[in-house]
Amino acid sequence: MGLLSTKLVERICRGLYRTAGCRRYAKMDRCNLRDVRRSQPFLYVLMLEGSSLCKLDLKNEAYDVFEKIYELFGREGFKGEQLQYLEFYLKERAKRG
C-alpha cells in the first residue's frame, strides 16, 4: 500500500477543486503537485488515507502517511479529531528513534 499514487491524487485534487469552484486547477490536464502540495484538499486526501490505514490496523503504512503530513504541514495538519493521529505519529517516531 503506502501513499496514494500520484495519478490518483491528481484526479482527487481536480475533483475537489472543481467542487470548490476553483476552475483554474480543475481545468488543468494535470494538477501540478507543487501547487497543491500544501493545499487543504491535499491534506484532506492524505489524512483520509492515513486514518483509513490506521483503522485497518496497518500501522506502518499509516505512519508513513502521517510522516508526510507532518513534513508538509507540521502540527497544523492535525487538528480537532486528527489529534489522535498526531499522538500516534509522535509516539511511533519516538519508538523508531
The answer to whether residues 73 and 67 touch, using CB atoms and an 8 Å cutoff, is: no
Count of CB atoms situated within 10 Å of the CB of 75: 10
The answer to whether residues 37 and 72 touch, using CB atoms and an 8 Å cutoff, is: yes
The answer to whether residues 61 and 69 touch, using CB atoms and an 8 Å cutoff, is: no
- The rounded distance, in Å, linking the Cα atoms of 45 and 97 is 27
Rg of the chain taking only CA atoms, in angstroms = 14
Q: Give 13-35 pLDDT, tens digit per residue.
A: 666 656 655 555 444 444 444 55
Report, as an integer, the average pLDDT of 24-49.
62
Q: Which three cell numbers stand for residue 95?
A: 519508538
Average pLDDT over the chain, rounded to whole? Answer: 75
